[in-house]
Structure 1
């Protein structure tokens, strides 16, 4: 029997590694090694380089799991030699040379696009750059409609902003072309049009699971189902 891969969970925008808490508990209960580092959210190339660095320093095989924008990150970082599988959770799955704005622009836009709040952040030696968050009042319906209201208020307050440049930056690689992939489509996603998720999963030849009624925060609301798909990927790559 081969070595059980370590699961490396990559969160997306407007969230942090804590959003994986329920999934982590499920995987740990099954004896699957798991790590959930912070995703910097400062740019696709730099974020992917960071995640690739984390993966390459793990002994043994790695299954990368990306939520939302994290899907784009693992598509690039997944070319790392010891990565043996990719799992996309309510995620973008870009082609090499494709930007997220281009990908989602092929389908009707989700409510997310018109409910972003822009602020700036300092960049050493350059002009301030723009970052975005979801407007607090819109956050529950867009991001976490099936999560209890008290939890959603905490998630909205703790959301991490995404550099606006990530929408136009293009993916330098598409690891799903050479690594097996799995995808979970959140059927009631208000942040990414589910059609974007379905299109990317089909193009990647991924093994697909769709959860009707699941919001973008499916890892929070349906941790067992998410963990089950990840477990399937781990077993298939062990």
Structure 2
């Protein structure tokens, strides 16, 4: 194993965010000479988004570690079945079982404050009726998404958030790559977007190596990039 190439880390952002939310983590990984890519997640549905992430991974030469934040965790669970994926890292994320939806997993636990602070809009669908997408009400965004991030930064994050297609909550995972590949998970202890119990349950079920950051918000990659990068580096070392 000693001569295996360093895996490329693919960072998959979740809903209400964009690839820029990984900036601090990217800088940390690049300091350690780790190749890293942070694609833009379409946020249009679990099936199509996971297929897109799988296509990104499969076109990278050599081994890949998929890292998913929030909804991105559901995507890497499916996309991780791609042959060259050697590890999965979940950051304040949903860890689905095959055949399970986000709605089902969440529904087993008390709802987070996020659920009552979503606003709906519609977007056009070629050849069909408009579909529904959701975003976080801007005034609720700081407390729910990024309570440990400076207020001036959260204002920008709230303005730049990307909506998630509502259909994503009902689509089911066609695979659970953690059944055959090693996984790591970071639980954000003060998460108000996903109930930390949901994160813990999924990580435990997957047999992941778990780190819990007390007081960390959902935006843990923004507020504590070094600790997020440290967990990813553990996965890189373990698989190379």
TM-score, length of structure 1 as denominator length:
1.00
Query: What corresponds to 2:73 in structure 1?
Result: 71
1:125 Cα offset (Å): 0.4
Aligned counterpart, 1:98: 100
SS in 2 for 1:24: helix
1:199 paired residue among 173, 198, 201: 201
Question: Partner residue of 1:12?
Answer: 14
**Who is 2:184 aligned against?**
182
Q: What is the SS of the residue equivalent to 1:85?
A: strand
CA deviation string 1:181-223 (max 9, x = no partner): 0000000000000000000000000000000000000000000
Taking the aligned partners of 1:8 and 1:147, their CA distance within structure 2 comes to: 24
For 1:100 and 1:44, the matched residues in 2 are separated by 9
Alignment of 1:14-29 (within 5 A): 14-29=16-31
Task: Provide the aligned length of Structure 1 versus Structure 2.
Answer: 238
When normalised by structure 2's length, the TM-score is: 0.99
Instruction: State the secondary structure of the residue aligned to 2:14.
Output: coil
User: Which residue of 2 is the match for residue 221 of structure 1?
Assistant: 223
In 2, distance between residues paired with 1:174 and 1:129?
27
Q: Equivalents in 2 of 1:125, 1:173: separation in Å?
A: 29
Residue by residue over 1:77-109, the C-alpha shift from the partner in whole angstroms, topping out at 9 and shown as x without a partner, is 000000000000000000000010110110000
Q: CA deviation at 1:76?
A: 0.4
Q: Which runs of 5+ in 1 are unaligned?
A: none
Q: How far off is 1:58 after superposition?
A: 0.3
TM-superposed CA distance for 1:55, in Å, is: 0.3
CA distance in 2, matches of 1:115, 1:207: 32
Tell me the secondary structure at the aligned position of residue 104 of structure 1: helix
Shift of 1:176: 0.5
Mapping 1:1-238, distance limit 5 Å: 1-238=3-240
User: Unpaired segments of 5 or more residues in structure 2?
Assistant: none
Q: Tell me the distance in 2 between the aligned counterparts of 1:194 and 1:181.
A: 18
